Amino acid sequence: MEKQDPQKPQLIFLSHASEDKSKVRNLYKRLKADNFDPWLDEERLLPGQNWGLEIDKAMRSSDVILLCFSELAVSKSGYIQREYKRAMDISLEKPEGTIFVIPVRLDDCEVPNFIREVQWMNYPADYERLLLALQTRSGGKIMSKKPAPKKETTPHKPVAPKSSGGNIFNVQGGIHIGRDFVDGDQVNYITNTQTINNISTPFEFVSELGTTIIGSW
d(C-alpha 131, C-alpha 144), whole Å: 12
Which residue type sits at 164? S
State how far the Cα of 73 lies from the Cα of 104, in Å rounded to an integer.
12
Query: Per-domain residue ranges for the chain?
Result: 11-137, 175-216
Write out the chain's pLDDT in tens, 217 residues: 566 666 799 999 999 999 999 999 999 999 999 999 999 999 999 999 999 999 999 999 999 999 999 999 999 999 999 999 999 999 999 999 999 999 999 999 999 999 999 999 999 999 999 999 999 999 875 544 555 556 666 666 656 555 555 544 455 445 554 444 444 444 444 444 555 566 566 666 556 656 654 454 4
Question: Residue 84's closest CA among 70, 71, 65, 100?
Answer: 65
CA–CA distance, 111 with 67 (Å, rounded to integer): 10
Class of domain 11-137: alpha beta
